[in-house]
Structure 1
């Protein structure tokens, strides 16, 4: 398999070069290695006509890639997960890049690397040489790449090849209006003059074996967008780190960009009162000259730029390990013997995971001591090499909350970098410790904070924001920390509507709710056993309040035991990381987002992850919840979490889940407007057997489910004012292949109440009988009058009517039901039994027969008025 890719945060040159490469490698898949720049994302959103055949990285099997074509990049650190296969035997790598080669680049077996204005130009020149032609759409995309990287053919790095390529693309039909709409606007004359001055002053020098560039200028007037110039200079000259210093009047502006992990420009410019992050930062300095700032900056660089260090400089070796076959009970003995809190797990000589003491202890608590560690070990971890930079290891340990990183020499585990090793490196001179502690779960988790007031203003009604402020104010008066938590916070960050507000209080939640209600004229419903309450506003708006608490499980699948705890422990008890976010509501820190467990990262990566490896053991219903969130949010269940789901299913833990809890999870899945993907996912995991042992997803009941979606959508669009329980329709559709007695047993398994169970099975049987009658009549090709349809379907619930439409594959039957739903069910005769009595008919069973005859005539259009109905009734009476 051939794959075309580029660096993460792809720009238009990446896009244009990939499209051009597709012409040279027509059978290759185009796959972005990561995110794209905002301008490229905007292009895809606004220019839907430019449909491109891209494959998502998560849909690609990396092991099948035999040739990797990389454009606009030569560095393994910038191609995301594709770096994992660079050492794969037999892999052929082709590189097309306009940046000069440098040490540490990916060694290519093909392609072209030469300096010019853009990578797209290199590939376009090859297309020209081969005599190929391209479509107008392709030409426009390639032109976007050339214009962006050459500054509309004005950058000093522009070559004659760029002009020739642009001219050829114009001949091929490139749309310059589209290019002008999306490429960054041209620089102003003052900006161009300043750029030239900065380029003339540019110098590069070495600090601890790292190349750092400085450029400076002084002007008499203000020039905006210096950051754009710094970005251009970095890209034009292929600089690793650049600091641009510009004096303007009584101020000096410093802008920095860095591609070198050891040069953290945000940290450096904070010394000047500025800020930013490791790769981009700025500072504004008053009452100093540019020369003074340059002098101080040079001194600061020698002080703050760390020399390159790699994993080989820090790792501990040899490493204590556990065989894959080791049981949980045996693992505890080994961990205790060596006084460590985690160990790598090996399958023969190959590392396959990491087991931590905390997971071992919890597994033993649940009686799982005889199982092998492979069932619950961590299987996702950074695979460092001796050359992996310490900065990368540091980022992984901090952001992923890990205590160790394994170091590999090829496939052989050669060492471990622990958090202790990292701390020794970061804090030279600290007292050395001899204990190696590799623990993945016991560390004190760092909290990440972020102000989300702007998101609240953008996505929430003003009334909701005010209520949140009022909740914080009530917490202030009681000296209680108050937080919005859970799905409300998750959906706020995703920009999804969610009016269900959950509040956690570090203290007495019921007392807090009662105090708030008294102040704002609300009612309170309290649940003392669980320390929860519901605040009900006069207009019916509700807020759920709970004391922060922790939970533990006596046995797998049991309901949890609850105890009061801290916010961190309250969040740790939740199902998935994306639901562990909290927003502080107290006045001093209002709208401060708190993230203990990397939830914000998982939202960005669209990943569903559990917080610990026994999550599905303690509450197996989380398996269904994972599928529901994956489908509803269009996320993906993380690989390790998926392995834990499979283990929970294999171990039969879902058999211990109470029927009512299982039904509640199914109802939540089936209430979605399109649950088909979730149902297929459940079937893929083998979960349907826990609903009924004989339930499988066949081609036929999948067809019924798909039809159910169509008829539910149709019914919703009718706006009839009738309420339909969609979940009932989907449940009937999913189980359409089950016999009546198996359906009854399924209802019993799901703890459906006996009364509703009897009603449901009775309606199902009736519906199946009616369906059989209608299909038989259609097969006989006999005309069907409206009254027959009415009396077939009268008394059936809307859910059963929609199920009949979904199950039948006959269009005529669907039309019968549609006619009944839209017209016939609302038809009624004008006369009643009193009218028959007035006509002299003795009370008796003939009343029903005559009234039905009159109604049938009304339905069939034989009578249109009350007088005609009375005449018909009189004739029916006189026939006796």
Structure 2
């Protein structure tokens, strides 16, 4: 199969080039790789282009394509799913393009690249040279592409060959009325409004002496012809360089125009995954907010408008390194000897990781100086080539917070660049610092900030907003700062409900809580050892208050020792980057999100990462929390974090945990809506055998947990009135395959209470007995079911339902929960006494018989009970005549 395709978001030149290429490849089919520009789609509706047999992508079996003809692009990032085709060996690739070279250009078997104003110019010449003819309709479509890409022959990229192509197409019958209608459409009301927003938002930046205009707009729905609007902005304001960002629906559109050689619009658009010429280019951005896209654009402009030094200019050489099999103590000595804070880790001449002084010193502090460097090195790192730009260097050292950046060439480490090297360069030339960095500076730190007030009002009740604002106002009166932090902020960005609010005060947390409680009439509890407090509101809402603090650990797996510090130090003690976000509550900065450690980036990338390499050494419970967060949010544990988890498990650090801390984390996992993925992950990391040497995860375990979840969902959807401890049902399932001897291992490991141990053993013994007895009785009466199941709690009954393979047993449990367990007799002990029956064990016998009769449908009301009593227990009645006098028995 031969296929002609182009780039995603196809424009008129792309479509025209496809139709022109069809003349050269008559057996090929035409397939767009993705969406087209809105104007092009409208043209399709109005025209007869269906005659050219354009196919939908889903109609094409990509595995059958053996020749791919690319027009108006050669970038692998712009051809959508066709990137799968070019990776397959044996596929012949032909390319026709007029764009300048890019980093991800595809290599073709036939390549025709010429710097024309439009790709259709190249193809129209080849059509002429091959003696082929085009119809007037084809000529009209090809002219549309030619006029669009040359700006009606006004762009500087227009060549004499473009005019020759226009003359040829006009002679072939191109209808210029159609071209004029499409090229000079009147602006709609929406487009006029968007153009006005562009003009109002336009700001001029002096980038190394070059005036660059940047405008950004936002629209709730797509507004067509954005590129036309940007072109009009350029003409109205007489701009040499303009970059416009438009957020429409779920993506951001970048359109760039440049009249001067100092700014290559195509190269900058290519950075964002787009393309074009040096004078006109565009890109579609999907992974950034409008604010992030504008900040990133300013950074890119700083790098592309004027040449920056390369990595080779900034790097230090020769390189001081350590071996992966070296002891931590040796690495510490090397760092002290050469006064360095980080260095590469080598193994057999190859770079395998990075290690920094902070990690080494903490390892020594914990008595791990004899451990090997490979156990604590960072194996998730980036490198750059000697030709890397300053922007690439900044990405690793600043955005990704990498301590040291190796410069490699052909696998060999040629040098390293430190943060100090980068900072020295930036300080020596302030014009090179992106504007966004100046805006972010805050007392020597560079946290990323943005205002999320709109998100807060969208996600939080007005009462919560009021509490947060009052907290900020009170902190300001106390001359300190207050912040909302932790999981509350994380879930706010994830749009997940969470009113578990933590407030950190850069001051005295207890004093803050006392004054808040007095001023707003709420209760407060204090924990002076940790300088924390809890505010308890009348509706039951609890808000935790703490002083900004940092923690250190006296030995691995110990409880933390707390000292006071700044907000940044307080956030640094937390477990994962996604939990290090803070929201300023002060009146002047209310709603400003503060991100010191890349938490926003990791939320966007859906990654769970620890903040430092000894995180699991200091607190092994973080292993279970990492697994829980990964599965709850649908994230993935980062490569380096996963490696640290495995190292911590192999070192036996979880086994040093106090049992109740380990049990608490297990309990939290089992409280998740579906703990099965987390249990599976615990098995992958080797955590399950720590509970018991015989505990493992297999297909049978997976199927059993699936059944447990099904019966729990059934119970909750049945609106049964008794509350359910889901985690206990799952715990019964997790431990059900262990022998009594192995269960004792679990008791010791988790420090379960005596009552918990008894309940588990009783459940296993009696569930098996009931299931066995049920199978022996072919016709179970309701009273049989009631007597068998009445001793069990709902959790144990659900475990029983999952444990059995017999549908009859499941129905019996269901009937008990829905019907039988609430059945009561109308007669009570006082009624029996009134009838003259002497109190004693016989009361239970009588009432049980009455209840069984009710359950089995033999009696229905009070009179039936009296009749049964007269028939079966007449010998016990001192006053049988009273049976006829129901009034004497009381209400």
TM-score, with normalisation over the residues of structure 1? 0.71
The residue that corresponds to 2:652 in the other structure is 652
- Secondary structure in structure 1 of the residue aligned to 2:873: helix
Select the residue among 235, 242, 251 that pairs with 1:246: 235
The residue that corresponds to 1:23 in the other structure is none
**How far 1:388 moved relative to its partner?**
2.2
The residue that corresponds to 2:574 in the other structure is 574
Distance in 1 between the 2:326 and 2:605 partners? 34
On the 8 A contact 2:353/2:380 being kept in 1, the answer is: yes
1:161-172 to 2 correspondence within 5 Å?
A: none
1:408-423 to 2 correspondence within 5 Å?
A: 408-423=408-423
Distance in 1 between the 2:690 and 2:36 partners? 45
Alignment of 1:800 onto 2:799: no
Distance in 2 between the 1:765 and 1:275 partners? 60
On the 8 A contact 2:783/2:856 being kept in 1, the answer is: yes
Distance 1:876 1:11, change over 3 A: farther
**How far 1:692 moved relative to its partner?**
2.1
Distance in 2 between the 1:719 and 1:324 partners? 58
**How far 1:68 moved relative to its partner?**
13
Distance 1:304 1:558, change over 3 A: closer
- Secondary structure in structure 1 of the residue aligned to 2:332: helix
1:141-290 to 2 correspondence within 5 Å?
A: 188-190=185-187, 228-229=226-227, 245-247=234-236, 255=243, 257=256, 258=265, 260=267, 277=294, 280=297
Distance in 2 between the 1:324 and 1:70 partners? 47
Unaligned runs of 5+ in 2: 19-32, 39-55, 60-66, 123-140, 153-161, 163-181, 193-207, 215-221, 245-255, 257-264, 273-290, 431-442, 877-891
- Secondary structure in structure 1 of the residue aligned to 2:498: coil
On the 8 A contact 1:11/1:37 being kept in 2, the answer is: yes
The residue that corresponds to 1:861 in the other structure is 857
**How far 1:582 moved relative to its partner?**
0.6
On the 8 A contact 2:75/2:102 being kept in 1, the answer is: no
- Secondary structure in structure 2 of the residue aligned to 1:277: helix
The residue that corresponds to 2:474 in the other structure is 474
Distance 1:754 1:12, change over 3 A: farther
**How far 1:307 moved relative to its partner?**
1.4
1:426-441 to 2 correspondence within 5 Å?
A: 426-428=426-428
Unaligned runs of 5+ in 1: 21-31, 40-49, 54-66, 123-146, 160-184, 195-209, 217-223, 234-242, 266-273, 283-300, 431-442
The residue that corresponds to 1:349 in the other structure is 349
1:440-451 to 2 correspondence within 5 Å?
A: 446-451=446-451
Distance 1:561 1:332, change over 3 A: same
Say what the alpha-carbon RMSD is for the aligned residues.
4.8
Distance in 1 between the 2:662 and 2:546 partners? 24
**How far 1:383 moved relative to its partner?**
2.1
Q: Which has the larger radius of gyration?
A: 2
**How far 1:735 moved relative to its partner?**
1.3
- Cα deviations by residue, 1:399-444 (Å, 9 ceiling, x for unpaired): 11223211221222222223333334434479xxxxxxxxxxxx97
1:550-561 to 2 correspondence within 5 Å?
A: 550-561=550-561
On the 8 A contact 1:343/1:354 being kept in 2, the answer is: yes
Distance in 2 between the 1:759 and 1:449 partners? 52
Distance 1:531 1:112, change over 3 A: farther
Alignment of 1:400 onto 2:397: no
- Cα deviations by residue, 1:288-333 (Å, 9 ceiling, x for unpaired): xxxxxxxxxxxxx999932154323332222122121111011011
**How far 1:226 moved relative to its partner?**
11
On the 8 A contact 2:72/2:99 being kept in 1, the answer is: no
Distance in 2 between the 1:324 and 1:89 partners? 38
Alignment of 1:601 onto 2:601: yes
The residue that corresponds to 1:809 in the other structure is 805
On the 8 A contact 1:575/1:611 being kept in 2, the answer is: yes
The residue that corresponds to 1:60 in the other structure is none
Distance 1:248 1:231, change over 3 A: closer
The residue that corresponds to 1:201 in the other structure is none
**How far 1:347 moved relative to its partner?**
1.1
The residue that corresponds to 2:385 in the other structure is 385
**How far 1:704 moved relative to its partner?**
1.9
Distance 1:478 1:423, change over 3 A: closer
Select the residue among 844, 848, 854 that pairs with 1:852: 848
**How far 1:740 moved relative to its partner?**
3.4
Aligned length: 708
Distance 1:215 1:413, change over 3 A: closer
Distance 1:878 1:700, change over 3 A: farther
Distance in 2 between the 1:378 and 1:858 partners? 70
1:480-519 to 2 correspondence within 5 Å?
A: 480-519=480-519
On the 8 A contact 1:227/1:255 being kept in 2, the answer is: no
Distance in 2 between the 1:558 and 1:866 partners? 65
Distance in 2 between the 1:603 and 1:402 partners? 18
Distance in 1 between the 2:184 and 2:561 partners? 65
Distance in 1 between the 2:601 and 2:483 partners? 20
Distance in 1 between the 2:641 and 2:818 partners? 47
1:453-852 to 2 correspondence within 5 Å?
A: 453-777=453-777, 782-852=778-848
**How far 1:594 moved relative to its partner?**
0.8
TM-score, with normalisation over the residues of structure 2? 0.70
**How far 1:799 moved relative to its partner?**
0.7
Distance in 2 between the 1:96 and 1:842 partners? 104
Distance 1:543 1:311, change over 3 A: same
Distance in 1 between the 2:308 and 2:563 partners? 48
Distance in 1 between the 2:70 and 2:799 partners? 52
On the 8 A contact 1:263/1:305 being kept in 2, the answer is: no
